[in-house]
Amino acid sequence: MDNYKNISITINEVTKEYNKGKGIKAVSTLFESGILNLVVGENGSGKSTLFKCIMGLVSYSGSINKRKIKMGYAPEEYVMPLRMSVVDFLYSIGRIKGLDRDLINNNLETYLRYFDLYPYKNKLIGSLSNGMRQKLNLMQAFVHEPKIIILDEPLAALDEDTIHKVIKIIKEKAKTKLVVVSTHQPNKFKCRNKRIYRFEKGNLIND
């Protein structure tokens, strides 16, 4: 297995302000592979904004240095194409991110079975429950085998069984990849190699 211990994201004085005064203020930190990076904080404290800055979804001041490698991102608000089938959606994301057809099909089967969505693979996304859509949201971040994985509130809307599965897979991925997770339940992630980043009102208060 490839080892990506040297992957990192360096954030220097990143500021993003929205009209309503929310956002992040002069955030500087470092996310590294090989450990589980947990970002915690209240709603509106700036966790999602930081992720959107890292993904290049929003403009910001300051700098973010990261290697140009595949990134998987599961946003908190997952608006999905309701009239597209589960398998079509995942396959398309995998192909857009540059993964080989056979590998995508293998990964699809693996993840669909792992998340108990295999029987629903040909169903339209619109017919899935909220929890199933969250699973799909997470699967699209894993399916193309990214080296950097950013998950925004991955435990939201999930039942206890699925939460255990999600935590297990996140911990597994964190051993070899750069994984950053925002959560309100950091205690559920029981592992030695984790680092907690706490946000408060747009500021990173400890690192």
Q: Given the rule CB under 8 A, which residues bind another protein?
A: 18, 52, 55-59, 68, 70-71, 73, 75, 77-84, 88, 92-93, 95-97, 140
Task: Phi first, then psi: give them for residue 203, nearest 5 degrees.
Answer: -110, 145
- C-alpha span between 4 and 8 (Å, rounded): 9
Secondary element (H or E) of residue 196:
strand 194-200
C-beta of 78 vs 189, nearer to another protein: 78
For residue 131, give every residue at least 6 positions away whose Cβ sits within 8 Å of its Cβ, in sequence order, or none: 157, 158, 159, 162
C-beta of 34 vs 75, nearer to another protein: 75
- The CB-of-52 to another protein minimum distance in angstroms stands at 7
Task: Phi first, then psi: give them for residue 148, nearest 5 degrees.
Answer: -120, 130
- The CB-of-190 to another protein minimum distance in angstroms stands at 29
Instruction: Give the neighbor-by-neighbor strand order of the sheet with 23-32.
Output: 23-32, 8-17, 61-66
- The CB-of-80 to another protein minimum distance in angstroms stands at 8
Dihedral sign, Cα of residue 185, residue 3, residue 106, residue 142: positive
- The CB-of-189 to another protein minimum distance in angstroms stands at 24
C-beta of 55 vs 163, nearer to another protein: 55
- C-alpha span between 147 and 153 (Å, rounded): 19
C-beta of 69 vs 191, nearer to another protein: 69
Instruction: List b or e across 127-138, with b for residues whose CB sees 16 or more CB atoms inside 10 angstroms.
Output: ebeeebbbbbbb
- The CB-of-105 to another protein minimum distance in angstroms stands at 15
C-beta of 44 vs 75, nearer to another protein: 75
